[in-house]
Amino acid sequence: MAEKEPKSIDPATLEMIEKAKQDGARVVFERAESTRPCPIGADGNCCSICAMGPCRVALPRGKEETAEERRKRVGVCGATPETISARNFARMIAAGTASHGDHGRVMAKFFLAIARGEAPGYEIKDEQKLLQLALDLGVTIGDRSNEEIAIDIGELLLNEFGKQEGELLFLNRAPLKRQEIWRKHGIAPRGIDIEVAEAMHRTHMGTDQDYRDLLIAGTRTALADGWGGSMIGTDIQDIIFGTPSPVLSQINLGVLKEDEVNIIIHGHEPQLAEMMAIVAQTPEMIEYAKSKGAKGINLAGMCCTANEMLMRHGVPLAGNFLQQELAIVTGAVEAMVVDVQCIMQGLVDTANCYHTKVITTDSRAKIQGATHMGFEEHNAPESTKTIVKTAIDNFVNRGKNIRIPQHKTHMVAGFSHETINYLLGGMFRSSYRPLNDNIINGRIRGVAGVVGCNNPRTPHDVGNLAMVKELIKNDVLVLQTGCMAMASGKSGLMVPEAAAKYAGKGLAEVCETVGIPPVLHMGACIDNTRILIAATSMVKDGGLGDDISDLPAAGAAPEWMSEKAIAIGQYFVGSGVFTVFGTTWPTTGSKEVTDFLFKDIEEMYGGKWAFETDPVKAAHLMIDHIDKKRKALGIDKTGERVLFDMAMRRDLE
């Protein structure tokens, strides 16, 4: 990033970066300046998996090497740059899959606890989705209670983690052709944990030392995330907490309130946040807040826990990943309550400059210097009340140095797969047919998933905004999750009026007719599985080929930073999707590995990676791919609008 380039496109973020400087508080933007990335590690050329190293096998940039020099450019054990690069990449996938998998496992256990009456305060909210899942999994419904059915489902899904043989149950949700591809190439995952464990074993010193083999095993591991751990998480959360439907809310640091107790919930697993939404609004807690001089309690979200709360309850979002410390810099946050993943340790240091309490709640994610208050799901209302009271008690400790940026934007979220189905087709004939028809007739050029994180190595939210605007201007409908969805929300792209303002004519017409924004918020990162299911539904509704790889569709993460993002990208590639990442690429140090991921892999799985730091150019890589797929389907003549009758659709199929 050039020195003078603004660190963010978001005025609230810029305002708080300045305030942090004035207050002497350190935040991620400053740390990113003082700690530059290691160029050898960034390219995937550093091997640190044993004590003979770390071995750095980088070829100095711009240098040509002789065959002899190349032969010698290996680690102490002889590991080649390809092995080292592929091993590092596979380990990123394993870590991402483990994170989503552990989230899914906790949800499966929680679901069982609810069904067995061991988690008072929670219930099964979406009976329809429960019964649909029972049908999908072959669980008997009959005249059994929801709880009895849920116990069978919960046990089946929990078994997916430790399963040693066979295939994951949800693989059969994919198009048949996709399932055949997975089987043919030996990448149908057996169980979730075994794929993660095997990936870690393969990447141990002296085990798998064939880069192609490592990357193939990595793909199987990633599929255990997308069609396993993450999908289990999404489905169970919908059943317990409700499947999202459109909801209006607001986003950015301006949602914090000067005269109320501000509690931020941050992380990924929503069981505590769900209970907090109830407890924080009880008369008892509101009265308690008033007794301390506050007018009420204001709950706001950060990162993916925020997305979960937004999607189901319309709880406002304080911001995305790079804004977590900046919320504290306002001086108005009584408690930052965190669970797991994407929680910066720097929060504690920032909080030390203000009165904010950083409260960890999960036994797997403690932070030195934070207050740990373990959340007990078996005693959820009481344990949540203790946390909320701690936040209220802290209101009296606020200093005078309070500044809440006056920036917040309206957004509509809640576009689950079921909701899109319903909005497009109506309650009695819900389907993706109208979407497919509008793709076939050319009003909509294609569909793009733009997801992922923020990364301080690239200006905050800039890549997302440029890419998404370019896509919708070119009639590409955009589906979003995670921190990129929040970036679009802040920029006003997630309201229906955005269609007329930013979308191309065809996409705008469809959005206006259906009443949806041109950019749809589908949830947290774990909910990227909703995009897999939406893509599968498009295939199944006909007219757009017989596999996900045939769809005029593409994926991107312009500002990614986490290992979870690599796992997600790899499961999209392994599901047949062309996927473009920005900011940095972790295998640049090995041409062979990069070529395999960017070219060869397409012949096997129908999907491949690309890397492009310019978001507009990246958008055009996606559009070119979409056009290529349109041409292959014979629907590339977008000039005239043709109304397809059944016979014509059958011909296309």
Instruction: Produce one character per residue of 46-65: b if its CB has 16 or more CB atoms within 10 Å, e if not.
Output: bbebeeebebbbbbeeeeee
Cβ closer to ligand BF8: 42 or 77? Answer: 42
Cβ closer to ligand BF8: 209 or 324? Answer: 324
93: helix, coil or strand? helix
7: helix, coil or strand? coil
Cβ closer to ligand BF8: 254 or 267? Answer: 267
302: helix, coil or strand? strand
CB of 244 to ligand BF8, least distance (A): 16
CB of 303 to ligand BF8, least distance (A): 4
CB of 97 to ligand BF8, least distance (A): 13
Q: What are phi and psi of 388, to 5 degrees?
A: -65, -40
Cβ closer to ligand BF8: 49 or 524? Answer: 524
CB of 182 to ligand BF8, least distance (A): 25
360: helix, coil or strand? strand
Cα angle for residues 482, 485, 491 (degrees, 5° grid): 145
Cβ closer to ligand BF8: 306 or 435? Answer: 306
Cβ closer to ligand BF8: 194 or 565? Answer: 565
549: helix, coil or strand? helix
Cβ closer to ligand BF8: 411 or 499? Answer: 411
Judging by beta carbons within 10 Å of its beta carbon (0-12, 13-18, 19+), is residue 24 exposed, middle or buried? Answer: exposed
E-assigned strands of 432-495?
Answer: 446-450, 476-480
Site residues, ligand BF8 (CB under 6 A) = 268, 303-304, 321, 342, 452-453, 482-483, 524-525, 562, 564-565
Residue (of 632, 522, 619) closest to 576 by Cα position = 632
Cβ closer to ligand BF8: 297 or 306? Answer: 306
Cβ closer to ligand BF8: 261 or 486? Answer: 486
CB of 311 to ligand BF8, least distance (A): 13
Q: Look up residue 348 and give its two tokens.
A: 């504690």
Cβ closer to ligand BF8: 149 or 483? Answer: 483
CB of 54 to ligand BF8, least distance (A): 26
CB of 454 to ligand BF8, least distance (A): 6
Find all residues with CB under 8 Å of 408, minimum gap 6, and list them. Answer: 250, 251, 252, 253, 254, 255, 316
Q: What is the DSSP string of 165-208?
A: SS--GGGGGS-HHHHHHHHHTT---S-HHHHHHHHHHHTSTTS-
209: helix, coil or strand? coil
Cβ closer to ligand BF8: 453 or 471? Answer: 453
CB of 563 to ligand BF8, least distance (A): 8
CB of 650 to ligand BF8, least distance (A): 41
> Which residue, chain included where needed, has tokens 């009758």?
645
How far CA 335 is from CA of 54, 346, 389, 516, 559, in Å, comes to 40, 15, 10, 35, 28
CB of 202 to ligand BF8, least distance (A): 24
Instruction: Produce one character per residue of 154-186: b if its CB has 16 or more CB atoms within 10 Å, e if not.
Output: bebbbebbebeeebbbbbebbbebbbebbeeee
Cβ closer to ligand BF8: 395 or 572? Answer: 572
586: helix, coil or strand? coil
CA-CA distance, 559 to 549, in Å (whole number)? 24
Q: Where are the alpha helices (DSSP H) in 225-302?
A: 230-241, 271-279, 283-291
CA-CA distance, 364 to 403, in Å (whole number)? 33
CB of 341 to ligand BF8, least distance (A): 6
CB of 136 to ligand BF8, least distance (A): 25
CA-CA distance, 421 to 596, in Å (whole number)? 36
Is-contact 285 250, C-beta < 8 A? no
